[in-house]
Homo-oligomer: A and B are copies of this chain.
């Protein structure tokens, strides 16, 4: 930071919670108010959900780096985007500027922050600030205890193949099926097969004004990416 002796900035992975700006932590807010640079994942064109969550708290004049990752079938395209973003962030860090990467939910639970983390953590100081995840936010919205006492919880992405999905879900007391999107029909079939469909809840955009909650049987025909299916522990059945 001083002339001639560079002290690198610190990289923050900042969990900003599931969507409601009030679910930001005091720690994330305090870091957000003092860093000169924020970075965030964004669609190739348009908005960033992570940025929208904290938009009201962003200081005027903060420098912004949008990490625009193409929705391409070619994995190399996404990796190239992370390479470029990591290089841009590294330039800021090397200049002594702290950089906070905004992560919806929690940075280390299905977060794209890991792609930046693995590119930068060997060269720069990193601090990860955990955030409220959509898992517990969805259970809170539904008013249903997710897992209790000696129960087990399986968190499984709906993107798995049908057999793998069934294998991972069977035998666990509570289930959370994330990354729903276009996989809703497959999830319905698997839950019916393992006998857990009746108690399954569909939760879309938990904690946001457009939040939508229903038994799985009354869920819409297709689900957005920010939705999940929860099956609470068996205790109450």
Interface string of A147-174 (1 = CB under 8 A from B): 1111111111101100000011001100
Which residues of A in the span 15-50 have a Cβ within 8 Å of any Cβ on B?
Answer: 15, 17-18, 20-27, 29-30
Whole-angstrom CA separation of A129 from B107 in the bound complex: 20
Chain A's interface: helix, strand, loop or mixed, by majority? mixed
Tell me which residues across on chain B come within 8 A of A24, comparing CB atoms.
25-26
Using A25-B22, A26-B29, A130-B140 as known contacts, say yes or no to A153 and B155 having CB atoms under 8 A apart.
Answer: yes
Say which one of A61-69, A83-91, A108-116 lies at the interface with B. Answer: A108-116
> From A131, which residue of chain B is reached at the shortest CB distance?
B132
Set of chain B residues within 8 Å of A168, measured between Cβ atoms: 152, 171-172
Q: Are B136 and A15 in contact (CB under 8 A)?
A: yes
A144 sits at the interface (CB 8 A)? yes
Chain A residue total in the interface (Cβ 8 A): 60
State how many copies of this chain the complex holds: 2
- CB pair A154–B157 under 8 Å, yes or no, is no
Measuring CB to CB, which residues of chain A are less than 8 angstroms from any residue of chain B?
13, 15, 17-18, 20-27, 29-30, 106-111, 113-114, 117-118, 121, 126, 128-133, 135-137, 139-140, 143-157, 159-160, 167-168, 171-172, 207, 236
Q: What are 29 A-B pairs with beta-carbon distances under 8 A?
A: A15-B140, A22-B26, A22-B27, A23-B129, A25-B132, A26-B26, A106-B140, A108-B136, A108-B146, A108-B147, A109-B135, A110-B149, A111-B145, A111-B148, A117-B145, A126-B143, A128-B139, A128-B140, A128-B143, A130-B137, A130-B140, A130-B207, A133-B133, A133-B136, A147-B155, A152-B157, A152-B168, A154-B154, A167-B171
